[in-house]
Amino acid sequence: MKKTLEKIKTRLNIHYRDLKNGVNNGINGIKRDVRNGIERGANGIEGAKKIVKEQPIPKKHPISVVSGIAAIVIFWSFILFAFALYPGGFNPLENWMSDLGNLVKNPNGAYFFNLGCIISGICLFFFFIGLYEWYIGGIRNKILTILTQFAGFISALSLMMIGFSPINYFKSHMFWALIFFTVSSFVSFFPSVALYKFKFTRNTAKFGFLVCAFNVFFRFFVTIPIFEWIAIFLSFSFILVIIYSMQKRVKRFRAVRNGNIVV
């Protein structure tokens, strides 16, 4: 009986020792994994910091932000002036936006519409020029930004030419209007592809894809006045969303560079 108890005791001691060693090894393994994870995370953070610090960070108030806001304010302010001066009332459900620039039907307000298109087009040129400050994030993003600029220059030029050739000059007006709505799809598509890669700008990208889809839908499938208004409103709204996203990213980059936050 005594020998049996000793054997049991010995076996229990062996099992206890094995269990203790297993627990210790498990704890040490967890500690090692956590330590390695922290080190990898730290290296990742330092790497991200290095990338941000090596990249030229845009100005506090980038030219794209200032000129983009100016384009939006000027365009819609002049639209409202032309709208208010339109004889007999203006109905977006029945009237094309270009009707506001009709020198015969809207003799007092047409100049506001046409001038608004010209000035806001000039502002948009500077908006797209200023995107050079966002040649960051690798070659892919740089290419997409350049494509956005190229499409944007054509869009800005066509908007200016719409102002120089109001609806009374029908052929030239329609030529530039069709270019404007066609290219506007690319203006929202290219930056959306670039922004979708990053989690913190993904919602902006989704909105851009929506704007692109609506522009394509209006341009090629359903051409009615109210859809033109919606398409133009969405296009300018996307510019506003881009501006807001720019400001957030500038603040984030500056905070990282100053060491106030980690990326």
Q: Which pLDDT score is estimated for 250?
A: 64
- For the cut 90, the answer to whether the pLDDT of residue 211 exceeds it is yes
Q: Where are the domains of the chain?
A: 1-54, 60-258
Residue 48 has pLDDT above 50, yes or no: no
Instruction: Give the rounded percent of residues in the chain with a pLDDT score beyond 90.
Output: 54
For tokens 């592809």, name the residue: 193
Q: What is the mean pLDDT of residues 92-112?
A: 94
Of 129, 155, 139, 138, whose CA–CA distance to 211 is shortest? Answer: 155
Instruction: Label residue 244 by pLDDT band (50, 70, 90).
Output: confident
Give burial (CB, 10 Å; 0-12/13-18/19+) of 62.
Answer: buried
- In this model, does residue 220 exceed pLDDT 80? yes
- Rounded to the nearest integer, the mean pLDDT of the chain is 82
pLDDT for res 182: 94
| Crossing angle between the packed helical segments 110-129 and 139-164, to the nearest 10 degrees | 160
Residue environment code for 122-138, b if the CB has 16+ CB neighbours within 10 A, otherwise e: bbbbbbbbbbbbbbbbe
pLDDT for the residue 21: 64
pTM of the model: 0.73
User: What are the distances in angstroms from CA 158 to CA 26, 72, 151, 154, 180?
Assistant: 68, 16, 11, 6, 5
Lowest mean pLDDT among 28-37, 46-55, 101-110, 181-190: 46-55
Q: Give the model confidence (pLDDT) of 127-175 as tens digits.
A: 999 888 777 767 888 899 899 999 999 999 999 999 999 999 999 999 9
pLDDT at 256: 54
Distance (Å, whole) CA 119 – CA 127: 12
